[in-house]
Amino acid sequence: METVEEKVKKIVIDLLGVEEDKVTLDAHFRNDLEADSLDLVELIMEFERQFGGEIKDEDAQKIETVGAASSTSRNACKRSVPHHSSGNPGALMAPRLIPRADSFAA
């Protein structure tokens, strides 16, 4: 199974068109990979799409390296998975059915 880091690296390579050997966890998007602000927005949107989570604006502004993008994407993905009230993070919540008020006999 592909790790978050591997997937982030593939996304960066595809969207920025850079060579694979340049994309390390320490690679700086602007300085090393020559990404501009539009590139960064597109990367954030693709990370959200691929990992199924939302990256908050304040978190997105802190992403300067491929490693930071990996950890932020991982955390966004974890936040998007609903947890069971038992506190067990592996247990997903099922939707709770609430009867409509007009379904009760008067």
Catalytic residue among 36, 57, 59, 102: 36
Q: What does the alpha-carbon distance between residue 65 and residue 32 come to, in Å, rounded to a whole number?
A: 9
- Residue 102 bears catalytic tag: no
DSSP 102: G
- Residues with catalytic annotation? 36
